């Protein structure tokens, strides 16, 4: 009980502290709007990576259609917010939740045919579904078709992304460490054994897939109100692969790894801008090197915990929710 409160206090304090510092830096002009934009993209990438990690890292099912869910969330949220009159913050929150719910609904419907397959076949069928979503958006009137959807309200701010990201991470952390999370992980470990100890693998696959789609939709909604223009091309399978790269780089089934990798992958291409034509090559080489030398991901199996760090690396056996969730 005691260490539980201590960990909660440490996490909450650090989350608020980092927030205050970043906001102060933005207000004082040390972080200009360009860098603020990067921070927002970081948050969006973290949400995408953490949600894909549930399906791919924890559930162990390689899915390549994550950008499709993001697209649904983005378009649904943008279309909703352009038609409703409301103060900014509640409007943003309601639109991203609508985007998330729609993505979740599609994820749920997709899970039924998709999980009849496994492994490579599953990867290809999800890739197919992702493309179907993109092509449908491309051909609808309401989404602006190939011209894209413009005139989206600039509702996403650093603060809203920061807190939505924190809440997302917290939800995934507690979910994974509950009995439902254990059931999901057991499917990755051995599906047959999992079923043989009384876990409905079908239910938990659908469940994890739906939750992952929901948060991809949330990320899409934030993205839409940040970029202000949506183009179906932004949600091609390259985007899905990018998210997958973050997950693999951070370590399959490692939450803090995904967060760290999302931060790096957001910054890296921009840091390499100076190299002009060479930047994609350097970027690719860095990825290859990373996989060669750290195939298990940046953090491997270890989860970073501020509480454990402060408590002097005392061995705690996962009784307490000990993890720093404020590392954006």
Q: In 3D, which of 234, 244, 216 has the Cα closest to residue 104?
A: 216
Q: Is 192 in the site for other proteins (CB under 8 A)?
A: yes
Closest CB to other proteins among residues 210, 327:
210
Pick from 181, 217, 257, 297: which binds other proteins (CB under 8 A)? 181
Closest CB to other proteins among residues 132, 193:
193
Q: Is 200 in the site for other proteins (CB under 8 A)?
A: yes
Q: Which stretch binds other proteins (CB under 8 A): 215-223, 229-237, 265-273, 314-322?
A: 314-322
Pick from 29, 87, 151, 198: which binds other proteins (CB under 8 A)? 198
Pick from 23, 93, 101, 182: which binds other proteins (CB under 8 A)? 182
Task: Enter the tokens of residue 212.
Answer: 């992952």
Pick from 127, 183, 247, 249: which binds other proteins (CB under 8 A)? 183
Q: What is the largest CA-CA distance in the chain?
A: 59
In contact, 88 and 126? CB cutoff 8 Å: no
Q: Is 28 in the site for other proteins (CB under 8 A)?
A: no
Q: Is 186 in the site for other proteins (CB under 8 A)?
A: yes
DSSP 279-327: HHHHHHHHHHHHHHH-TT-SSTTPPP-HHHHHTTS----S-S-------
DSSP 4-55: HHHHHHHHHHHHHHHHHHHHHHHHTTSS-HHHHHHHHHHHHHHHHHHHHHII
Site of interaction with other proteins (CB under 8 A):
171, 174-175, 178-183, 185-186, 189-190, 192-201, 207, 301, 317, 319, 321
């Amino acid at each position: 009980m005691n260490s539980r409160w201590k960990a909660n206090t440490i996490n909450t304090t650090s989350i608020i502290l980092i927030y205050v510092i970043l906001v102060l830096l933005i207000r004082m002009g040390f972080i200009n709007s360009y860098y603020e934009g990067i921070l927002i993209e970081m948050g969006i990438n973290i949400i995408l990576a953490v949600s894909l990690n549930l399906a791919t890292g924890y559930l162990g099912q390689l899915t390549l259609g994550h950008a499709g869910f993001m697209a649904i969330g983005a378009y649904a949220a943008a279309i909703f917010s352009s038609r409703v009159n409301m103060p900014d913050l509640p409007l943003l929150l309601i639109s991203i939740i609508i985007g998330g719910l729609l993505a979740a609904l599609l994820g749920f419907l997709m899970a039924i045919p998709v999980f009849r397959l496994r492994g490579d076949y599953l990867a290809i069928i999800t890739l197919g579904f992702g493309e179907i979503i993109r092509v449908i958006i491309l051909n609808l009137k309401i989404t602006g078709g190939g011209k894209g959807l413009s005139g989206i309200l600039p509702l996403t701010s650093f603060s809203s992304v920061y807190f939505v990201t924190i809440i997302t991470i917290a939800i995934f952390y507690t979910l994974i460490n509950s009995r439902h999370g254990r059931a999901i992980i057991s499917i990755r470990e051995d599906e047959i054994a999992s079923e043989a100890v009384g876990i409905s693998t079908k239910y938990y696959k659908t469940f994890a897939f739906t939750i992952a789609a929901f948060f991809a939709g949330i990320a899409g909604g934030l993205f839409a109100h940040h970029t202000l223009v949506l183009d179906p091309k932004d949600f091609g399978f390259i985007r899905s692969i990018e998210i997958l790269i973050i997950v693999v780089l951070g370590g399959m089934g490692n939450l803090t790894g995904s967060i760290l990798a999302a931060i790096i992958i957001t910054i890296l291409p921009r840091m390499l801008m100076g190299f002009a034509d060479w930047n994609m090559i350097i970027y690719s080489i860095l990825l290859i090197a990373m996989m060669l030398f750290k195939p298990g991901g940046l953090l491997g199996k270890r989860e970073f915990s501020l509480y454990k760090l402060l408590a002097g690396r005392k061995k705690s056996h996962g009784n307490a929710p000990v993890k720093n969730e404020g590392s954006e």
